[in-house]
Amino acid sequence: MQTATYPASSGDQATKVDGYMDRQPEDKSNSPAQNQRGNDSQQEDQNSMEKNSSNSVWTSGIPAALEEATMSQPAPSTSEGPQVETMQSMQQNEGARPGQQQPSNIADKSAPSSSEAASRSTENNQYKNAGKNTDNLRDRQMRKSRLSQLLDLQRKRIRPADHSTKGRYGIQDFDFLQTLGTGSFGRVHLVQSKHNRLFYAIKVLEKRRVVDMKQVEHTCDERHILSRVQHPFITILWGTFQDAKNLFMVMDFAEGGELFSLLRKCHRFPEKVAKFYAAEVILALDYLHHNQIVYRDLKPENLLLDRFGHLKIVDFGFAKRVSTNNCFTLCGTPDYLAPEIISLKPYNKAADWWSLGIFIFEMLAGYPPFYSENPMKLYENILEGSISYPQYFSHASIDLMDHLLQRDITSRYGNLKDGSMDIIMHPWFRDISWDKILTRKVEVPYVPPIRAGMGDSSQFESYATGPTNYGNNENPEFSDIFQDF
């Protein structure tokens, strides 16, 4: 779990929902309620930006679009200066990866341009006229049916129910290296296979903590669901095993770190970038929902980047197999909770589409729409549902978020007769090639600056080495409860 370095203020200590820790935006300097950070923390941020900027690499193809999108967003006035500068300084300081073109002259392009406002207004006008001029109904129908066929193929890729990951590996198969992240029940380690020398991530869960926090069912669901799903944007579970005290889940190592960290470094993403990450998430949610799985914990902390810059959803600790409206558990991350969950009403996959709306907002604004340091106020804000969109959001993005952030689930996009198609076909995604997104043929906005395949954990926070006295098989605990592992 990413620990926020945002200064804690009174009353904002971790809130637990169903055993999970709350998050605090590290920086919501451009939020309606501006933060009051001291010089020290600003200096710290500056230092960390400089450190990070020299590492960051933006791929060659996207930057022009990325810059345009970034620069066409008037920056809100904040004590820390505009986000635009932040993004630009990241770009200016980047080093070129071997074989990659240095992004074209960013400094020149950063000069204020009178065409920016014009281009935004053209974009908005295009959106307003979209129904009249482009997208005639027949084209739309054809696109929709082509897309449905494509998605159907992916949706059917599910491993058989009797596919077992149990006992496929043991502690003796891996060298345990540093900690990549910590969670409520243990930690995730970088490991190296003693056989093929490849690097993996192993999530270790302490059985006693899982039992004490009444998370047995969630943990078993996580293992079961992850062992069956097969999707380009979902982490692969290679195997599970246990020792006397711990459960182990062997996953592929997502080397690029958390999207959360990238977002906090950039403060907010240009629309093109947000659209790209949203598109990958949508395809993963579409896949899960068609396989009767609701994810229930969408947030930037659970979205990791692989070495190429594509997303991998991790942490299926709240994922659940569902039929219709049959979830009641209060779980998820407060900022991302759908109103029906807070009201303790039965809820379904529509809750994930609500979270998608929050996710898109947070990527574009740098803070979630209902943010409050006071958890009760946060819940009130969510239930009340009034959203103040920053003026630099495009009409199309606002329209999509309005349709996702519908308190009434019978009006929420994703939950209507056409399901996810309403989202996929929304004008905000007009320039997205869904088939290319699915086949990962789209140029990514950001390639993590790592030495791929070398066990490079530079994109993760450093942790003091934790307990790694794993592998003790004496006096096994709870083996009846965790017999599936």
Ligand X SMILES: Nc1ncnc2c1ncn2[C@@H]1O[C@H](COP(=O)(O)OP(=O)(O)OP(=O)(O)O)[C@@H](O)[C@H]1O
Using CB under 6 A, which of 221, 315, 362, 373 touches ligand X?
315
103 in Cβ contact with 65 (< 8 Å): no
Q: Assess 181 for contact with ligand X (CB under 6 A).
A: yes
Give percent helix, percent strand, percent coil of the chain, each to the nearest 5. Answer: 40, 15, 50
Read off the tokens for 464.
């003091």
CA–CA separation, 203 vs 227, rounded Å? 14
Q: Assess 350 for contact with ligand X (CB under 6 A).
A: no
Read off the tokens for 314.
């991790």
Q: Angle at the Cα of 119 (from 363 to 260), degrees rounded to 5?
A: 10
Residue 22 annotated among the catalytic residues of the structure: no
Stretch that binds ligand X, among 70-78, 301-309, 384-392, 445-453 (CB under 6 A): 301-309
Residue 272 assigned as binding residue: no
227 to 286, contacts with ligand X by CB under 6 A?
Answer: 235, 251-254, 258
Complex with ligand X: residue 20 or 174, whichever CB lies closer: 20
Query: What is the identity of the amino acid at 244?
Result: A
CA–CA separation, 145 vs 249, rounded Å? 38
Read off the tokens for 366.
């740098």
Beta carbons within 8 Å of 380's beta carbon, 6+ residues apart: none
Using CB under 6 A, which of 49, 229, 259, 314 touches ligand X?
314
Complex with ligand X: residue 155 or 224, whichever CB lies closer: 224
Complex with ligand X: residue 188 or 283, whichever CB lies closer: 188
Stretch that binds ligand X, among 113-121, 166-174, 267-275, 300-308 (CB under 6 A): 300-308
DSSP H/E element including 105: none
Least gap, CB of 333 to ligand X (angstroms) = 9
Binding track, positions 3-42, relative to ligand X; x by CB under 6 A = -----------------x----------------------
Q: Give the residues across from 249 on adjacent strands.
A: 203, 240
Q: Assess 304 for contact with ligand X (CB under 6 A).
A: yes
Rg of the chain taking only CA atoms, in angstroms: 22
Q: Assess 1 for contact with ligand X (CB under 6 A).
A: yes
In this structure, what DSSP letter does residue 169 have?
Answer: S
Using DSSP, state whether 460 is helix, strand or coil. Answer: coil
For residues 100-131, b (16+ Cβ closer than 10 Å) or e, as one string? eeebeebeebbeeeeeeeeebeebeeebeeee
Q: Could you say which of 27, 243, 297, 315 is catalytic?
A: 297
Give me the residue whose beta carbon is nearest to ligand X: 183
CA–CA separation, 130 vs 126, rounded Å? 6
Using CB under 6 A, which of 58, 174, 185, 429 touches ligand X?
185
Complex with ligand X: residue 52 or 72, whichever CB lies closer: 52
Using CB under 6 A, which of 201, 234, 266, 360 touches ligand X?
201
Read off the tokens for 462.
């450093």
Stretch that binds ligand X, among 275-283, 313-321, 351-359, 371-379 (CB under 6 A): 313-321
Read off the tokens for 359.
């996710």
Stretch that binds ligand X, among 24-32, 38-46, 311-319, 377-385 (CB under 6 A): 311-319
CA–CA separation, 250 vs 174, rounded Å? 10
Using CB under 6 A, which of 90, 188, 294, 409 touches ligand X?
188
Q: Assess 68 for contact with ligand X (CB under 6 A).
A: no
For the annotated catalytic residues, the residue numbers are 297
Binding site for ATP, residues?
Answer: 203
Residues that bind ligand X (CB under 6 A): 1-2, 20, 180-181, 183-185, 188, 201, 203, 235, 251-254, 258, 301-302, 304, 314-315, 317, 460
Binding site, residues?
Answer: 203
